[in-house]
């Protein structure tokens, strides 16, 4: 997928988060992605291209352009 | 009154009522209804986290006490085995090292369509096999088909959860005889094998009736959350679960066509 130079030096890439296309900085980790959306890591589970990323791997897992990310949480249900 | 606890997989419940967390007007009302019901296991669904407008940061788990409640993640809203397995794994991941109990089990729901919300038996069995191989203790939501329930038990389900009637319909236990046969067949070799009525109950008498049939527990959501006064209904459901269980254990009298006097014939003054 495409990487582009905007705002001078920051390289960005497109990833799909919960079905929406989002632009993030190149090399963004899962942990940084969650921070960008103000999501507490302790309350969610994350899939990267259908593979679960465990909480311990959040900091070290870097996203690549075109990655499909799912961030899920618990909601009310029966 | 003390009741024998209910063991499902590696978990022990001290109430035979399992309640849902959906459709409440507020998270505070949900929390209070959970307390009023006496349940110590609540089921939760898995959905995408909102990327904006996140309810000012509040999460449903903030309103569930991990010391008091065991969480039962479910796969509600899944229509294929693949979806259900994926959601089950995400639920387990969320609970792992979270401070909550419940990572080891899942309530499997694999539905046929959005109108009837009836369980899809083929996908359910397929998902069950994958989840069992993956180490899950699976509580399987299914229809009240006796043979299907037997196949699910054989495939390693930790508990079978036949519907009393369609989800949220409030129709009660439509086919008590099917539930009776399911109980007889599934408990034949293992009397403690858990059978739980999941879905369809509308009011306290439906719960009592299910418990009097001999099921090990009842799982419900809408009957409390949708009642005019959910708090009162939550308490009613807890009492109905207990009274129904006690009546089952006590053993009801047989039905007879004609009357049997309760007072002695002997000693009547007009003889």
ipTM above 0.90, yes or no: yes
Query: For the residues B195-222, what does the mean pLDDT come to?
Result: 97
Q: Give the pLDDT confidence score for residue B4 in this predicted structure.
A: 66
Specify the pairing of strand B217-220 against strand B196-198.
parallel
Q: What is the pLDDT of residue B149?
A: 98
User: Considering Cα of B113, then B119, then B121, then B126, what sign does the dihedral take?
Assistant: positive
B213 has a pLDDT exceeding 60: yes
Structure-token match 């990327």, residue found: B51
A71 touches chain B (CB under 8 A): yes
Taking phi over 0 as left and psi of -120 to 50 as alpha, with beta for the rest, B262 belongs to alpha
Asked if A54 lies within 8 A of B73 by C-beta distance, the reply is no
Kindly tell me if the per-residue pLDDT of B31 is higher than 90. yes
Give the whole-angstrom CA distance, residue B129 versus residue B133: 6
> What share of chain A has pLDDT > 70, as a percent?
88
Contact B212, B244 (CB under 8 A): yes
A51 CA: distance to closest CA in chain B (Å):
9
Work out the average pLDDT over B203-226.
98
Residues of B with catalytic annotation? Answer: 107
> For B84-138, how does the pLDDT look when each residue is reduced to its tens digit (9 = 90+)?
999 999 999 999 999 999 999 999 999 999 999 999 999 999 999 999 999 999 9
Cβ neighbours around B250 below 10 Å, total: 9
Q: Does B74 score more than 60 pLDDT?
A: yes
Buried b (16+ CB within 10 A) or exposed e, B105-121: bbbbbbbbeeeebebbb
Set of chain B residues whose Cβ sits within 8 Å of the Cβ of A17: 51
Q: Is the pLDDT of residue B57 over 80?
A: no
Give A 30-59 residues with CB within 8 A of chain B: 37-40, 42-45, 47, 50, 52, 54-55
Contact yes or no for B240/B211 (Cβ under 8 A): yes
- Does residue B187 carry a pLDDT above 50? yes
Q: How confident is the model at residue B3 (pLDDT cuts 50, 70, 90)?
A: low
Tell me, yes or no, if the pTM score tops 0.95. no
Q: Rounded to the nearest 10 degrees, how much is the dihedral formed by the CA atoms of B48, B27, B203, B213?
A: 60
Interval A12-25: pLDDT, tens: 999 999 999 999 99
The confidence score (pLDDT) of residue A1 equals: 46
Q: Which of B4-13, B26-35, B40-49, B107-116 has the lowest mean pLDDT?
A: B4-13
Amino acid A5: pLDDT: 52
């Amino acid at each position: 997928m495409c990487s582009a130079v905007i705002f001078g030096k920051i390289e960005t890439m497109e990833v799909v988060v919960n079905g929406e296309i989002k632009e993030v900085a190149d090399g963004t980790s899962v942990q940084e992605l969650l921070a960008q959306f103000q999501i507490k890591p302790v309350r969610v589970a994350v899939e990267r291209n259908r593979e679960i990323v465990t909480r311990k791997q959040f900091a070290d897992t870097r996203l690549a352009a075109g990655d499909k990310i799912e961030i899920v949480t618990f909601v009310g249900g029966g | 009154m003390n009741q024998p606890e209910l063991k499902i997989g590696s978990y022990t419940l001290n109430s035979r009522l399992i309640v849902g967390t959906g459709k409440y007007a507020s998270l505070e009302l949900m929390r209070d209804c959970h307390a009023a019901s006496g349940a110590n296991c609540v089921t939760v669904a898995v959905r995408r986290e909102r990327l904006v407008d996140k309810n000012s940061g509040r999460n449903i788990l903030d309103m569930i006490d991990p010391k008091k409640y065991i969480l039962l993640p479910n796969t509600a809203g899944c229509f294929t085995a693949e979806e259900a397995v994926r959601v089950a794994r995400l639920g387990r991941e969320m609970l792992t090292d979270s401070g909550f109990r419940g990572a080891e089990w899942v309530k499997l729901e694999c539905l046929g369509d959005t109108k009837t919300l009836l369980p899809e038996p083929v996908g359910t069995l397929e998902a069950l096999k994958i989840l069992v191989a993956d180490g899950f203790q699976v509580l399987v939501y299914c229809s009240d088909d006796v043979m299907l329930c037997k196949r699910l038990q054989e495939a390693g389900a930790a508990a079978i959860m036949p519907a009393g009637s369609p989800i949220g319909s409030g129709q009660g236990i439509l086919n008590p005889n099917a539930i009776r046969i399911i109980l007889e067949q599934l408990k034949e070799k293992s009397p403690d094998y858990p059978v739980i009525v999941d879905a369809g109950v509308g009011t306290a008498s439906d719960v009592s009736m299910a418990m009097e049939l001999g099921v090990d527990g009842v799982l419900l959501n809408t009957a409390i959350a949708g009642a005019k006064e959910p708090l009162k209904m939550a308490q009613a459901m807890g009492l109905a679960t207990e009274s129904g269980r006690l009546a089952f254990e006590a053993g009801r009298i047989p039905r007879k066509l004609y009357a049997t006097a309760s007072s002695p014939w002997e000693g009547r003054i007009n003889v």
